[in-house]
């Protein structure tokens, strides 16, 4: 979902050369129903449980809300950072270079 578009270009620029990163949607559907959100949240919970990340960077409030809801189901507590969604930054021209630098600093 972040590959081959302006949003993806911004994210890929920030993580270029970094390793040990997983990019995923909080919910993997275009127009989710309530059932889709629940299934997406369960998928996210499984991903978090499997990899046990030390940090989660949420791009946008939908991701932040979904992730924080799922953290209550985990046996550990990763650090959560929240940034604006990159498409928001691009659409409103909110200094993409500053955003890229902030994201680069957050990525381990």
* Residue 46 is assigned to a structural domain of this protein: yes
* Any domain includes 40: yes
9-62 pLDDT per residue, tens: 888 888 887 877 877 776 665 555 555 666 667 788 888 888 888 899 999 988
Predicted pLDDT of residue 35: 56
- pLDDT for 81 equals 92
Residue 101 confidence (pLDDT): 93
Q: How many domains does the chain have?
A: 1
What distances in angstroms separate CA 9 from CA 53, 67, 79, 80, one per listed residue? 24, 23, 25, 23
Q: Which domain holds residue 71?
A: 6-13+32-106
pLDDT tens digit sequence for 81-104:
999 999 999 999 899 999 999 999
């Amino acid at each position: 979902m972040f590959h081959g578009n302006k949003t993806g270009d911004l994210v890929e620029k920030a993580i270029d050369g970094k390793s040990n990163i997983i990019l995923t949607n909080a919910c993997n559907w275009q127009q989710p129903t309530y059932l889709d959100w629940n299934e997406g949240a369960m998928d996210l919970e499984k991903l978090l449980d499997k990899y046990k990340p030390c940090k989660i960077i949420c791009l946008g409030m939908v991701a932040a809300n979904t992730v924080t809801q799922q953290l209550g189901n985990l046996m550990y507590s990763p650090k959560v950072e929240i940034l604006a969604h990159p498409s928001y930054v691009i659409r409103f021209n909110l200094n993409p270079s500053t955003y890229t630098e902030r994201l680069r600093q957050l990525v381990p």
